[in-house]
Structure 1
Amino acid sequence: MPIPRFRVPTGILLALFAVTSAQAAPTQTDAPSTAGSKPNIVVILADDLGNADLGYRGSDIQTPNIDALAQEGVRLENFHGEPVCTPARAALMTGRYPMRQGLQTLVIFPNHRYGLPTDERTLPQALKDAGYATYMVGKWHLGHADQKFWPQNRGFDHFYGNTVGEVDYFTHKRSGILDWQRNGEFIDEEGYYLDLIGDEAVKLIEHQDKDQPFLLYFASLAPHAPYQAPKAMEDRYAATIADPTRRTYAAMITSLDDQVGRIVDTLDKRGLRENTLIVFSSDNGGPRSAVVASGAHSPEERAASGVKQESLPASNGELRGGKGSLHEGGVRVPTIVNWPGKLQPRVVDEPLHMVDIMPTALALAGAPANPTDKPLDGVDLWATLATGQGSTHDDILVNVEAFRGAVIKGKWKLVKIALLPGKTELFDLSTDPGEKNNVAEQNPEVVRDLERRLIAYARQQKPSEWMKAQPDYLGAQGQTLFDPDFDIDDGGMPHLKPALPQP
């Protein structure tokens, strides 16, 4: 599938390069230790999952295993990922906002050379220091062009899956190039993506030493495009869903649910379930624009099913926007934390963020604190999970780029678009989670406070690696318009170089 080429206005890029890279130093709170041995930690991450597309959230899509985790665990109803894949995964793996690594903008394309900076301490690295075995299966998307970015070189003892973004679910190729490996050895094998990573996860748990705690990061590609599923799975919805694209999408989510069930069953059979914390979440909301999702069925396939109008299959319910957006439909993701005997069923409406998973896991594992030069933005959520107490976040950065950003403090959310003519939106999420009513004019003091916080974060961001890479794609016939390895003069402006002459 061809990779989209984006044209970024030069004004955006200039604004980015005027930003400084100072580092903030938020305080990490200490989590209460739990009784008994260190828990096993299983993180299950869906990809592009619509907020309303699980059974327990009212969907007609069948997800009995995920529903059971929700009914028996803690449902985080105000949990935030990032607008797209790479930033969300950076937040999960580091406990730090992706703008601190220059990963705040869009995703790593197959042509890109950058990845998660190697001086960042990752969740698996930290847990290895605490004696954990660390395993990953599925989609990485934090760097592929250099082996130093690969999961097995970022703290995972074992990796099986793909390093780029999307691949074909059956061939495991992207644009004809195989992206499927086990610990650095590329494998051309048959099988449906979810079945294969499910098989691998089960084998890892079956062979795990019961006396050693482990981290399993199960990073599903589903239900990310291209929309593909085995016919037998699609047939489950033949009588209930007419739209062929949504039927496939539903089958993909149910396939993911089947693998969740297999993981839980294997933990049970090995007697590990009572000492295993399971986190289920998604990187971002479901796509509501064809710009960020492809692979829908053809007009001919839709017509054969009696469906005339093309539509994207994901649903974010009442939430505004979708993947790529700073509004809640793009960043609020269904999240469950389940640990039998340690966490009682409850619903938490406290604003939380993907960066909170790492500090919570480290506190439970007794892992060493992060270096002082890489302070965590996330906070330990154990008290919130166990008792419903409010988190210690003063505010939560949804994301910030040179041209837009969003921040949450309590019930208030500010969305700021810096491109002229600009836009400032303020929402009371406690009464308006769908972000239908902009109340900025009625609450000028709140706007000023949140703008001050957002600008403070903006001053801390590193230059976007995505935008630094894009000169190769900008301009007439892809000519470089400026030098990405800029330096800032005394006036705060980047040195530009003229466009290359026409060939």
Structure 2
Amino acid sequence: MSNTNNNSSYGTIKQTTNFDEETVDPLQIEIEEFLKQSRTQNVEGNYFKLSFYGCIVLFFLLFTYLINISTKVFVNNSNASTTQNFMSSSGKLQPNVATTTTTKPNFILIVADDLAWNSIGYTSSEMSAVTEQITDLASKGIIMNNFYAQEVCSPSRGSLITGRYPLTIGMQYGMVGSVAEWGMPLDEITIGEVLKENGYTTHMLGKWHLGYFSPLFLPTARGFDSWIGYANGENYYWSKKLPDYPKNSDFITSNTTCYAPYEGDDKHDYSTTFYTSKAISIIQEHSYETPLFLYLAYQAVHDPFIDVGIYENGMPDSYIDDDILKSIHLNITGRLRQEYAKSLYMLDKSVGELYDALVEKDVMDNTYIIFMSDNGGCFYGGGKNSPLRGSKGTLFEGGIKVDSFIYSPKLANPGTTYDGLMHISDWFPTIMELANIDYSPDDDNALDGVSQISGWTGVSTPRSDMLYNMYTHLTDIEFDIWTNGSFAVRDSRYKLMHTYDDKTYGTWDDIDETTSDDDNLDSENGCAQQFVTGTFEYWLFDLNTDPYETKNIYNSPNIQHVNAKNKLYDLLPDYLTNAKTKMSMSFSEKSKKVWEENGNHVIPWANVDDLKNGDTYTYPTLC
């Protein structure tokens, strides 16, 4: 696997100044020359000059020092590098000035799939034995107690890598299907693109799920130097075949030049083990002449846990240490829930191995590990979000409130928890600040996310309100969200929501029965359905006093509740103004023909020229 920073441009993106070449500050030269002359001249008159100008110099240096301290109070041994950027009229990043005196930090961004709230040791006693590594790492970092993703995969992942709400990038409605001819719009700027422009080598492993019908939409056309993974929402852990199209394998390898079906000898390794092995290779082989950004989007703990024709009864017990296996059978009821626990244990083990690899390479001291789930757990897939209400696919807290933490020896306040409001889009600007990158996009690409560093240190409260989501119906953003569409918004205390009655998705009463059902091992993931037959209702919750959403106070005459409701309603028009229409609702049968012609491998099928619209893009072609 190559670890050389690829200098190909993406769309109209240009490359920044080479970070290996230190830019000399003319002001610094002038100051040093003045001091040198003052020291060598022994004229009495110069003594006064030295004293006078020396005071000016000292004042300037002290002022600069205080400014630097105020912007870097959060991180120990912060980077001395600064990068200034501006945006072109096309919305793509352009370079201005870059200076570097120290190495920028590395980032390992880990996303678990469908990880339920009641899963990690600090939120679940039931799963504590299978999450010891994750729990230990989180306890030494900063745990986000009030962190929100989106309710399903594609919107979350789009928001994460753009720093924008799904509504703002046209990803608000549902997930990108296997044969869908749409994806995250090409004018969106990704975190990979910005980091590459600022000297980073960027790699991705695992689940993409942001469109792939054209190679223009692949990760290696959108800011990543390499990618091995799957394009769709799910596949089998060993065979890598699509449950929806079981004769087709979804397993792709790509760099910025070309892509191909992955055919390595390890292609049938268990998914979590495979991606961890590749990640460790990247960590070990990277030269660190450029900082590393690794986006690791695991398949775990998404169902199905069986593999048709290989492991019909789920993961073999031989994968699990004996003591852990005993704990699973002793403490966890139901086959489906036990298979979920096995998958979670393999993920936990991998997180520990990644940490060990960073320590062994002697780069952990300059690395941030960020961990999160993409949405709440699905009870049809073994996940429990209790005591939170709801499941994956809903706007109740159980569908969107998830675990997240950051760990690094660079943190100034390790071993703490953060109660401030945080959205998945906030990781983009937070990473920019940790990397000391000044990213200021134009209005067309303005971030919805906010850096959370000042909140972690108690300096300020970065976020006072948040849009959960707003489903503009299909491609029509003018439809009446007040009567036939779902939305949810909150401030620091209250949550306003218009959505289906949660009886549509199942209530607390049937979750235990569902997660214990042996017949659900090959789940079709019913939690992912958003627009289904059901009754729309309005909801208002006081999350300070009712965090589990047990009491709907929407019709309460209490003046405080009425004012809170009106305040939240007032936020909605601004969000709708920034809505972007979903690029397409089309599906193609051509895809299956192309897959069949290429050995039943899932690959892009659309004509690139039909999508360029006169723009220039660099993208991989079929190898």
Same fold (TM over 0.5): yes
Q: Note the alpha carbon deviations across 1:135-192, whole angstroms, 9 max, x for none.
A: 1111010112111111111101111111111001000111221111221221242210
TM-superposed CA distance for 1:364, in Å, is 1.9
Q: List alignment gaps of at least 5 residues for structure 1.
A: 1-29, 294-312, 473-503
Give the alignment of 1:410-425 within 5 angstroms. Answer: 410-417=492-499, 422-425=536-539
**Equivalent in the alignment of 1:254:** 345
Per the alignment, residue 211 of structure 1 pairs with 289
Contact 2:202 2:292 in 1 (8 A): yes
Which residue of structure 1 aligns with residue 332 of structure 2?
241
Between the two proteins, the alignment pairs up a number of residues equal to: 419
The separation in 2 between residues aligned to 1:394 and 1:470, in whole angstroms, is 39
C-alpha distance in 2 between matches for 1:401 and 1:50: 23
Partner SS state of residue 294, structure 2 = strand
Please list the CA deviations of residues 20-52 of structure 1 after superposition, one character each: whole Å capped at 9, or x if unmatched.
xxxxxxxxxx99344233211111100101101
* Cα 1:177/1:343, change in 2 over 3 Å: farther
Matches within 5 A, 1:454-473: 454-465=572-583, 468-469=585-586
Corresponding residue number in structure 1 for 2:205: 137
Cα offset, 1:242, TM superposition: 4.2
Query: Residues 121 and 370 of structure 1 are in contact (CA less than 8 Å); yes or no, is this contact kept in structure 2?
Result: no
2:401 to 312, 329, 332: 332
The answer to whether the 8 A contact 1:40-1:277 is kept is yes
- Taking structure 1 as the reference length, the TM-score comes to 0.79
- Determine if the alignment matches structure 1 residue 170 to structure 2 residue 238: yes
Deviation at 1:111, TM superposition (A): 1.6
CA distance in 1, matches of 2:218, 2:423: 25
The Cα of 1:421 is off from its aligned counterpart by 7.2
Rounded to whole Å, the distance in 2 between the matches of 1:319 and 1:470 is 36
Residues in 1 aligned to 2:438 and 2:454: alpha-carbon distance in whole angstroms: 20
CA offsets 1:195-240 (integer angstroms, 9 cap, x no match) = 1000000000001113321111110111111124343246613444
Q: Given that residues 425 and 438 in structure 1 are in contact (C-alpha distance below 8 angstroms), is that contact kept between their aligned partners in structure 2?
A: yes
The 1:412–1:130 alpha-carbon spacing in structure 2 relative to 1, beyond 3 Å, is same
Verify the 8 A CA contact 2:465 2:490 in the aligned structure 1.
Answer: yes
Counterpart amino acid of 2:357?
Answer: T
Q: What are the superposed Cα offsets for residues 248-305 of structure 1, whole Å, 9 maximum, x if unpaired?
A: 10000110111111110000001111111111100000013x4xx5xxxxxxxxxxxx
The answer to whether structure 1 residue 444 and structure 2 residue 562 are counterparts is yes
What amino acid is the match of 1:205? I
Equivalent position of 1:388 in the other structure: 458
Q: Aligned to 1:147, which of 200, 215, 224?
A: 215
8 Å contact from structure 2 (residues 211, 231) kept in 1: yes
The SS at the match of 1:178 is coil
Considering only aligned residues, what root-mean-square deviation do their CA atoms show, in Å?
2.2
Correspondence for 2:154: 86
Partner of 1:226: 304
Of the candidates 377, 402, 412, which is equivalent to residue 448 of structure 2?
A: 377
What is the one-letter code of the residue matched to 2:196? K
Equivalent in 411, 415, 419 of residue 349 of structure 1: 419
Equivalences for residues 426-437 of structure 1 within 5 A? 426-437=540-551
1:32 aligns with 2:107: no
2:296 partner SS: strand
Confirm or deny that 1:407 pairs with 2:489: yes
Identity of aligned residues (%): 33
Q: Is this contact kept in 1: 2:138–2:405, CA < 8 A?
A: yes
Distance in 1 of aligned mates of 2:362 and 2:107: 14
The residue that corresponds to 2:252 in the other structure is 181
Look up the equivalent residue of 2:401 and give its one-letter code: R
Q: Which has the larger radius of gyration?
A: 2
8 Å Cα contact 1:350-1:390 kept in structure 2? no
SS in 2 for 1:259: helix
- Return closer, same or farther for 1:97/1:231 CA change in 2, 3 Å cut-off: same
Distance in structure 1 (CA, Å) of the matches to 2:221 and 2:587: 26
**Pair 1:214–1:471, CA change in 2 (3 A):** closer
Q: Would the aligned equivalents of 1:379 and 1:391 in 2 still touch at CA under 8 Å?
A: no
What's the TM-score once normalised by structure 2's chain length? 0.64
**Are residues 233 and 243 of structure 1, via their aligned partners in 2, closer, same or farther at CA, if it must alter by over 3 Å?**
farther
Alpha-carbon separation, structure 2, partners of 1:217 and 1:270: 18
Higher relative contact order, chain-length normalized (CA < 8 Å, sep 6+)? 1
Q: Which runs of 5+ in 2 are unaligned?
A: 1-67, 80-102, 307-314, 473-484, 501-530, 590-623
1:27-176 counterparts in 2 under 5 A?
32-33=71-72, 34=75, 35-36=78-79, 37-61=103-127, 62-174=130-242, 175=245, 176=247
Alignment CA distance shift 1:471-1:414 (3 Å): farther
1:388 to partner: Cα distance: 3.4
